[in-house]
Structure 1
Amino acid sequence: MTESEKNKAKEILVIQIKQIGDCILTEPVFRALKEKWPDCRTSFVVSSAFAALFQNNPYIDEVISYNFKKPAAELLRRRKRHYDIAIDFLGNPRSRALTLFARAPLKLGFTKKGSFLFYTKTAPASSGPEYVSDTKFRLLAPLGIVSLPQPIKIYISEEEKKLFVDYGKDNGGAAFVAISPTSRRPARRWTKEHFAKLADILIRRHGVMPVFVWGPGEEDYVKSVMGMMKEKALLAPPTKLRELAALLNNCALLVSNDNGVRHLAAAVGTPTLVITGPTFRECWTPKEKQHRAVQSDVKCIACSKRECESMICMKQLMQEEVASEAADMLAKYSGRK
């Protein structure tokens, strides 16, 4: 693809089929592409489980739902579009296949073993801890886009925002603090006891109402945490992802494990306080001041383990420390959305 052709790019395909956090952190890419080429048409290939999150986004012209049970070739063949640029932010066998089937003259991907077989241009990923959205923008450098990403954003409608206006209205007008005590990876879970004690502290000292949020298969786990509390908290109703985003939009703060909910909250402008252990907090914490991450000072921090027998990083981080951070954030950012 020549420089002249690159400057006239009309059809751009962006691929990030999983996970929810990675997909949300790809959102600023579309704003950058539209700033570079205001008249371009952008398409986003994303897991069907998360596709609804990107509805109403003025910078994404087409959301293509990816079904992992169907061949990648079939997905793009049906559209019969001629893409000028394909950008693969994942780099696994499925996303690489999608990149090839796009048949774009310019195919971008991160530098990995064998990447030259799939991409016409590659860029190195970060060599150290770096906010993931920043890392994604490295892949835009061959397009002449050198800016840093803007904050992530999910565009929920005014009607969706109204869904939870009356939720918990009999709680005396207390501000909501969402709590997400779950994670797909056991090593990322702060203890149930710590979460329960934290929720009690927030009620007693700060007069807020904790709302425990959950997803499919997590209700019993969340209820077991709530069962350890001395005070009364709210259990969120069953929600789809966009409904959960609307609920988080009505909260003053989210306290969470390192999971997908943290990115959902940040994308609707809700301050986040995240408990981290096996991950680098720099990689997943937005740079805006209203987003923080806390972790223990132990040698094995950021070990990247999915499971851990000792869980020392989670056990040593006490509820008082997290409560102190939460109190400071409530004082500084509550009501500023």
Structure 2
Amino acid sequence: MSGLRGLGRALLLFAIRLLFRAAPKPAPKLDPSRIRRVLVVRTDPRVGNVLLTTPLVRALRQGLPGARVDWLVAAGKENLVAGLADRILPFQKRDLFRAPWRFFAFVLALRREGYDVAIDAGHWHAFSFTSLWATRFSGAPVRIGHRRGLSERFLTHEVEHAVEVEREVPAKLELLRPLGIAAAGEGLDTTVDRDPAARALAQQICGAAPAGPLVGLNPGARKADHRWPPEAFAALAVRLRQEVGATSLVLWGPGEEELARAVASASEGAARLAPPTNLAALAAVFRHCALVVTNDTGPMHLAVACGAPVAAVLLAQDGGRWSHRGRFAGVAVRTASPQDVEKVFEAARWLLSGAAAA
């Protein structure tokens, strides 16, 4: 499978070299006072990658008050960020094959918007044909993005990533550089939990908790090597109950119920299993939590966006890249050993004490 993927990538790069010429140089000059329409392109459907783009969009709206800032996001993720840009435009990548007439009608409508600037907000390190293609075909004369792969075929202003910038949010904010716009903070935003039904469900779930801090445990993750074992989460729940009087609520998403049940059943009654929740209800639950302990995954960023203190269990070597400032503690662990459980517990206790910067 990896061989086929590599062959497909090589063929794609060959086609790009044939079909796309490099953007003309010198690049068009930028006068922010003349910018009226901006398109931010972030078509990755993963929750974390959508949320990690919110500081960039916020800075654009504040730095260009006379401009309309639109955001192209993966279809199905609009509710995560509704209202955070002037317009949220759902992008259905699969329409290219399932409904090509609808796909090309969408592209033509996008070009008719007359964008002055389009920003490819994909990862600085990874070439994304979809994101770069959408940026180029927006029709914007000024196209900004990180320099990687064959980006010169799509962009007019390539931004060199600074190697000393280790975290993802500051890396995303590098894209403001060609516009001369200052960042407007690194905090993540979401509006997904504005749904009254989600708030009511969260109140029902969290209102049943006994006295003491409510700690949300998120033992799931899309990548198996990002999952701290369930017995480690269970041992942590026991420590939290014994030493700080906390009640733990085990949260889970599609396909994770068995994993969550394993945590609850091994916790000696210190943790209880949450009912099924969608993203909106999960976000609303996070707003009730005194602390969220989570693997490095989409809900980690969602908890940050909801303002919850977060202790993140980082098993991957590049885990620090996805960390945040403020009430956030990234804990590098490798096993479910008592020593690693102790490390996560100490981070959790520190956050519960209120010592972390807000």
TM-score by length of 1: 0.86
The more displaced of 27-36 and 228-237 is: 228-237
**Equivalences for residues 1-337 of structure 1 within 5 A:** 1-4=28-31, 6-18=32-44, 19-57=46-84, 60-71=85-96, 73-79=104-110, 80-90=112-122, 91-128=127-164, 130-147=166-183, 149-155=185-191, 156-157=193-194, 159=196, 161-288=199-326, 290-296=327-333, 313-316=334-337, 318-332=340-354
1:105-125 Cα shifts (integer Å, max 9, x gaps): 100111012111100000012
CA-based RMSD of the aligned residues comes to 2.3
1:172-204 Cα shifts (integer Å, max 9, x gaps): 333210111111112111122111111122122
Q: Which amino acid aligns with 2:119?
A: I
Count residues with an aligned counterpart.
Answer: 316
Q: Is the 1:272–1:291 contact (alpha carbons within 8 Å) kept by the matching residues of 2? A: yes
Of all paired residues, the percent bearing the same amino acid is 27
Q: Is the 1:189–1:314 contact (alpha carbons within 8 Å) kept by the matching residues of 2? A: no
Q: Is the 2:169–2:186 contact (alpha carbons within 8 Å) kept by the matching residues of 1? A: no
SS of residue paired to 2:158: strand
SS of residue paired to 2:354: helix
Deviation, 1:23, is 1.4
TM-score by length of 2: 0.82
Q: Which amino acid aligns with 2:174?
A: R
SS of residue paired to 1:332: coil
Deviation, 1:161, is 4.2
Q: Is the 2:55–2:184 contact (alpha carbons within 8 Å) kept by the matching residues of 1? A: no
Deviation, 1:51, is 1.9
**Structure 1, unpaired ranges of 5+:** 297-312
**Structure 2, unpaired ranges of 5+:** 1-27, 97-102
Q: Which amino acid aligns with 1:246?
A: A
- In structure 2, the CA distance between the partners of 1:268 and 1:109, relative to structure 1 (3 Å rule), is same
Deviation, 1:224, is 2.0
Q: Is the 2:231–2:266 contact (alpha carbons within 8 Å) kept by the matching residues of 1? A: yes
Give the whole-Å Cα distance in 2 for the aligned partners of 1:325 and 1:37: 39
1:297-328 Cα shifts (integer Å, max 9, x gaps): xxxxxxxxxxxxxxxx2345521221122112
1:258-297 Cα shifts (integer Å, max 9, x gaps): 1111100110110000011214343111111x1011114x
Give the whole-Å Cα distance in 1 for the aligned partners of 2:250 and 2:78: 24
Give the whole-Å Cα distance in 1 for the aligned partners of 2:144 and 2:209: 51
Deviation, 1:88, is 0.5
SS of residue paired to 2:299: helix
